[in-house]
Amino acid sequence: MSRKMGRAWASNSLATTDVVRLCRKCNAKILADAPEGLCTACLFETGLDVLAGQADRVRDASESAAAPNASATKTLGELADYALLEEIGRGGQGVVYRAQQKSLNRIVALKVIRPGQKTTKAHLQRFRIEAEAAASLDNPNIVPIYDVGEDDGSYYFSMKLVEGGQLQDVLKRESIPVRQAAELIAKLARTVHYAHERGILHRDIKPGNILLDAKGEPHLTDFGLARLVETESNVTRTLETLGTPSYMAPEQALGNSSQLTSTTDVYGLGAVLYHLLTGHPPFAGGTTYDTIRLLLETEPRQPRLWNPKTDRDLATICLKCLEKDPQRRYSSALALAEDLERWLRHEPIRARRAGMFGRGRKWVRRNPTLALLILSLAALAAAVSSNVWKSEFVPRTAVTGIAVLPIQMTTHRRTRPPI
């Protein structure tokens, strides 16, 4: 009986081993113990599908994680034809956004003024004047204006987005070589002269309004304080003092809008050049009031005292721009550019160093307290000397004289001896 059972178990085992199965996916012959009932090729393909599905799930998860950021970007809102992506700048005249112009599908910089409690019609009128003035300029070193408009009480203009940093940010990280500084200001001076020829003053030239592109080329932006010289309106005469104090010309600090000329921007270019050469603006006080007081009452220090690498002629050019009297500055931005270009070519410059009297006058303005003290001591010394001279303590030299007696002339007659 047990022998029969052994033979039956062996036959059954052999039969199981010889059973041929078909792949449930492609019907190919497979062994009885094939995993998942699949042939080798289908099993490999299934594994690839599994991996692809996992990748899709990971990608979907990452997109869902990024969704809050996208929605956060959208929360900045829209303005007219523009989707506001992020804030990239803020100043006294408005807010600048990185924005997408939907109709043209391009990224721009959008400057916006939203009327607030302190915003007057004069502010808004000035905003529109400045935008229209800047939009008329077409120069490779001026950031172009694309569009000017108003939407639901918000005034805006869009301009080219320069993918580069502000000059003021560059100066915080590193110093600029002297020659490169002269080249940069020469280019900007010609750019400013281009605007002046079209009757437009910038009035706020400073490192924050100068953008450097990837090639290091300067671009002048934010004509937020520009005005049309030929069609000056009452708005510009009655507004508060405009500009940035550390780079502001004296006549601008005094609020004399009617006296602003092209030499006002020449001063601003000189102030930026001074910063490039020395590492700081010509005047900087603890407060706006202190800065303006220094600007009006003192003279800037010689750039060579801050940076010995500064060439004497370049320092002379810089200080000529910073003269208190507009008549003593360069007559135009073009004249400044040409003198800088002469210096770059190692040619004699037109500007001349101040003489002894001029240096003395500037020293007095730079050190008024010390000058007053010296003057007072000199006056005191003169007064004391005069009093001592007149007093009896000074022995006087005795006066000696020769008495001249009258000479009596006696005439003797010569007589002949008797014969």
HEC readout, 79-128: ECCEEEEEEEEEECCEEEEEEEECCCCEEEEEEEECCCCCCCHHHHHHHH
Give the residue, 337 or 26, on which the prediction is more confident.
337
**Whole-number average pLDDT of the chain:** 77
Write down which residue in 106, 140, 159 finishes a domain: 159
Q: Give the pLDDT score at 62.
A: 44
DSSP alpha helix (H) spans, 279-355: 288-297, 303-306, 312-321, 333-344
Q: Is residue 378 part of a domain?
A: no
Q: Is residue 65 part of a domain?
A: no
Counted domains in the chain? 3
Task: For residue 220, give the H/E element and its range.
Answer: strand 218-220
Q: Give the pLDDT score at 237.
A: 41
Geometric angle at alpha carbon 61, from 60 and 64, rounded to 5°: 85
**Range of lowest pLDDT (22-31, 150-159, 265-274, 375-384):** 22-31
**Which residues are bridge partners to 156 per DSSP?**
112, 149
Q: What is the average per-residue pLDDT within 101-106?
A: 93
Specify whether 290 is catalytic: no
- Give the model confidence (pLDDT) of 44-53 as tens digits: 566 545 544 5
Q: What is the average per-residue pLDDT within 293-322?
A: 95
Q: What is the average per-residue pLDDT within 12-21?
A: 50
Confidence band (pLDDT; 50, 70, 90) for 358? very low
Q: Give the pLDDT score at 231.
A: 41
> Whose CA is closest to 110, among 63, 161, 151?
161
Q: Give the pLDDT score at 381.
A: 78
Q: Is residue 302 part of a domain?
A: yes
Judgement on whether residues 262 and 202 belong to the same structural domain of the protein = yes
Judgement on whether residues 130 and 198 belong to the same structural domain of the protein = no
Active-site annotation holder among 49, 138, 147, 204: 204
Q: Is residue 303 part of a domain?
A: yes
Q: Give the pLDDT score at 342.
A: 98
The CA distance from 152 to 140, in Å, is 33
Q: Is residue 416 part of a domain?
A: no
Confidence band (pLDDT; 50, 70, 90) for 279? very high
Give the residue, 230 or 201, on which the prediction is more confident.
201
396, two tokens:
């006087």
Judgement on whether residues 125 and 25 belong to the same structural domain of the protein = no
Q: Give the pLDDT score at 322.
A: 97
Percent of the chain with pLDDT over 90: 39
Highest mean pLDDT among 71-85, 131-145, 352-366, 376-390: 131-145
Highest mean pLDDT among 10-19, 149-158, 208-217, 397-406: 208-217
The CA distance from 96 to 51, in Å, is 46
Q: Is residue 288 part of a domain?
A: yes
Judgement on whether residues 239 and 308 belong to the same structural domain of the protein = yes
Supply φ then ψ for residue 315, to 5 degrees.
Answer: -65, -35
Judgement on whether residues 124 and 182 belong to the same structural domain of the protein = no
Judgement on whether residues 27 and 85 belong to the same structural domain of the protein = no
Q: What is the average per-residue pLDDT within 404-412?
A: 54
Judgement on whether residues 288 and 306 belong to the same structural domain of the protein = yes
Q: What is the average per-residue pLDDT within 197-224?
A: 89
Q: Is 299 left (phi over 0), alpha (psi -120 to 50) or beta?
A: beta
Written as one letter, the residue type at 81 is D
Q: Give the pLDDT score at 189.
A: 98
Q: Domain of residue 241: give its range.
A: 167-350
Written as one letter, the residue type at 243 is G
Q: Is residue 12 part of a domain?
A: no
Give the residue, 175 or 383, on which the prediction is more confident.
175
Q: Give the pLDDT score at 85.
A: 93
Q: Give the pLDDT score at 217.
A: 95
Note whether 97 and 84 are within 8 A (CB): yes
> Whose CA is closest to 282, among 258, 308, 249, 327?
249
32 has a pLDDT exceeding 70: no
Tokens 């007095």 sit on residue: 364
308 has a pLDDT exceeding 80: yes
Percent of the chain with pLDDT over 70: 63
The CA distance from 173 to 158, in Å, is 29
What DSSP character marks residue 152?
Answer: T
227 has a pLDDT exceeding 80: no
89 has a pLDDT exceeding 70: yes
Q: What is the average per-residue pLDDT within 157-167?
A: 88
The dihedral formed by the CA atoms of 62, 63, 69 and 74, expressed in degrees to the nearest 10: 180
Q: Is residue 402 part of a domain?
A: no
CATH number at residue 252: 1.10.510.10
Task: For residue 210, give the H/E element and its range.
Answer: strand 210-212
Write down which residue in 350, 373, 392 finishes a domain: 350
Judgement on whether residues 179 and 137 belong to the same structural domain of the protein = no
Long-range contacts (CB closer than 8 Å, 24 or more residues apart) made by 250-255: 250/295, 250/296, 250/324, 251/326, 252/203, 253/292, 253/295, 253/296, 254/296
Burial of 236 (0-12, 13-18, 19+ CB in 10 A): buried
Write down which residue in 105, 140, 159 finishes a domain: 159
Judgement on whether residues 240 and 317 belong to the same structural domain of the protein = yes
Q: Is 39 left (phi over 0), alpha (psi -120 to 50) or beta?
A: beta
Q: What is the average per-residue pLDDT within 290-309?
A: 94
Supply φ then ψ for residue 274, to 5 degrees.
Answer: -60, -45
128 has a pLDDT exceeding 90: no
CATH number at residue 101: 3.30.200.20
Judgement on whether residues 155 and 171 belong to the same structural domain of the protein = no
Query: What's the gap between Cα 129 and its chain centre?
Result: 23
The CA distance from 212 to 162, in Å, is 8
Note whether 112 and 127 are within 8 A (CB): no
10, two tokens:
């062996």
For the four alpha carbons of 229, 235, 237 and 241, in that order, the dihedral sign comes to negative
The CA distance from 57 to 10, in Å, is 50
214, two tokens:
């990837």
Confidence band (pLDDT; 50, 70, 90) for 326? very high
Query: What's the gap between Cα 208 and its chain centre?
Result: 3
Confidence band (pLDDT; 50, 70, 90) for 33? low
Q: Give the pLDDT score at 391.
A: 67
Judgement on whether residues 201 and 284 belong to the same structural domain of the protein = yes
Confidence band (pLDDT; 50, 70, 90) for 394? low
Q: What is the average per-residue pLDDT within 270-278?
A: 97
Confidence band (pLDDT; 50, 70, 90) for 363? low
Judgement on whether residues 134 and 196 belong to the same structural domain of the protein = no
Give the residue, 296 or 229, on which the prediction is more confident.
296
Tokens 């000529």 sit on residue: 320
